[in-house]
Chains A and B, each alone.
Chain A
Amino acid sequence: MFNPKGDLSVLVQMTDNEIIQLFSSGRQEEAFNGIVDAYTERLYWHIRRFLCCHEDADDLLQDVFIKIWAALPTFRGDSRLYTWLYRIATNEVLNYLRKQRFKSLISLESVSAALEQRIDDDTYFNGDKLQRELHKAIQRLPEKQRIVFSLRYFDEMKYEDIAEITGTSTGALKASYHHAYTKVKDDLQKLIES
């Protein structure tokens, strides 16, 4: 099994500027390949933290790149490439979670309970008990709080970048992160003290 703590591949990755230059000069296919090389791993981990299942994350990653390929001609450089890519991935994740929520209404099951169960069943989860509980606590957060918590806590992304990705003001994001952080912290604290 590959873990990001180990050696990363020796793949030479292009910078966002190099990719945009290729795209601007009409070399769309090369620009797309540059995006795939540079962002496959990052977008995968972003998706995986929400879906908690390798197989589903893999399927959704493919869908995300289909969307990127289709939307690439419309990229005008108004936003930065990496926030544009994260926005596409985040929207796909949200669509997936909304579908799951509707399915849960039909089947009368709880989505967050199902996602928590996925963490227990995931053969590609290598964390300890505390990490397991952290990810379960994240699944219990409302959608927006889950997104801002994941991008801020794990990726240490700036609020300005998260605002570009989610289309929300930085003030609202800071409030969401504070609520999410407090809930997750309290859940873990209770677990340790019990």
Chain B
Amino acid sequence: MMDRNKDILQDFKVLKENAFTVPEGYFDAARSRIKKHETTRKTGLWERMSPYAAIAAVFVFMVTVGTFFLERTTRPADMTQEDYIVFSDAMMNTVGYSIEYDSQIADAELGDEDIINYLIYMGISAEEIETSK
């Protein structure tokens, strides 16, 4: 029978010792690698702002292209069959079964990593999913 008065975690001092090891010279190499990797990054204004500038550029491009296509597609009377084929990807999809089909295609392109990152971002835990099964 288990003796509740015994405290193995206190009695065996070896348990507190570090049982893990690393390759020889690892910490010196890790320090050099981390310093080199991080401090060689530029921290100028452009470096910090470039991701936002890229997003802004993409947004402006999409608005410009979208406006152009919208202007063309809102005049169906003028549109030939050839125009329809060329611009069909840019048209808003309002047909129910087609939306469902497109979303299935989008789902098929998502990897496990994308789904996991999304769930973590939404604050959903693996335990919640397990308990909801």
Residues of A bordering B, CB below 8 Å: 1-5, 9, 11, 28-29, 32-33, 36-37, 40-41, 44-45, 48-49, 54, 58, 61-62, 65-66, 69, 95, 98-99, 101-106, 122, 124-128, 130-132, 134-135, 153-154, 181, 184-186, 188-190, 192-193
Q: Which residues of A contact B75 (CB under 8 A)?
A: none
B116 to chain A minimum Cβ distance, whole angstroms, is 4
Decide: B130 and A105 in contact? CB cutoff 8 A: yes
Decide: A2 and B8 in contact? CB cutoff 8 A: no
Prevailing SS type, chain A contact patch: helix
The bracket for how many chain B residues form the interface is 35 or more
Q: Which residues of B contact A2 (CB under 8 A)?
A: 21-27
B58 to chain A minimum Cβ distance, whole angstroms, is 23
Q: How far is the CA of A62 from the CA of B129 in the complex (A)?
A: 31
Decide: B30 and A61 in contact? CB cutoff 8 A: yes
Q: Which residues of B contact A4 (CB under 8 A)?
A: 18
Decide: B126 and A125 in contact? CB cutoff 8 A: no
Q: Among the listed B14, B38, B130, which residue makes an inter-chain contact with A131, where contact means beta carbons less than 8 Å apart? A: B14
In the complex, 21 of the A-B residue pairs with CB atoms within 8 angstroms, ordered by the A residue number, are: A1-B21, A4-B18, A5-B18, A33-B35, A33-B39, A36-B34, A41-B27, A58-B30, A62-B37, A65-B38, A66-B37, A102-B120, A124-B20, A126-B19, A127-B17, A127-B20, A130-B12, A135-B19, A154-B16, A181-B9, A189-B8
Give the residues from 113 to 133 in chain B that come closer than 8 angstroms, CB to CB, to chain A.
Answer: 115-117, 119-120, 125-127, 129-130
Q: Which residues of A contact B125 (CB under 8 A)?
A: 98, 101
Q: Which residues of B contact A188 (CB under 8 A)?
A: 8-9
Determine whether B3 belongs to the interface, using a CB cutoff of 8 Å to chain A. Answer: yes
Decide: B38 and A125 in contact? CB cutoff 8 A: no
Decide: B39 and A29 in contact? CB cutoff 8 A: yes
Prevailing SS type, chain B contact patch: helix
Q: Which residues of B contact A65 (CB under 8 A)?
A: 34, 37-38
Q: Which residues of B contact A69 (CB under 8 A)?
A: 38, 41
Write out, one digit per residue, whether chain B residues 23-52 have a CB within 8 A of any chain A CB (1) or not (0): 111111011011101110101000000000
Q: How far is the CA of A2 from the CA of B26 in the complex (A)?
A: 8
Q: How far is the CA of A127 from the CA of B37 in the complex (A)?
A: 33
Q: How far is the CA of A86 from the CA of B26 in the complex (A)?
A: 21
Q: Which residues of B contact A103 (CB under 8 A)?
A: 112, 116
Q: How far is the CA of A95 from the CA of B120 in the complex (A)?
A: 8
B13 to chain A minimum Cβ distance, whole angstroms, is 11
Decide: A98 and B120 in contact? CB cutoff 8 A: yes
Decide: A37 and B126 in contact? CB cutoff 8 A: no
Q: Among the listed B2, B31, B39, B130, which residue makes an inter-chain contact with A40, where contact means beta carbons less than 8 Å apart? A: B31
B89 to chain A minimum Cβ distance, whole angstroms, is 32
Q: A32-B38, A105-B129 are in contact. Are A1 and B9 (CB under 8 A)?
A: no
Decide: B17 and A5 in contact? CB cutoff 8 A: yes
Q: How far is the CA of A193 from the CA of B3 in the complex (A)?
A: 9
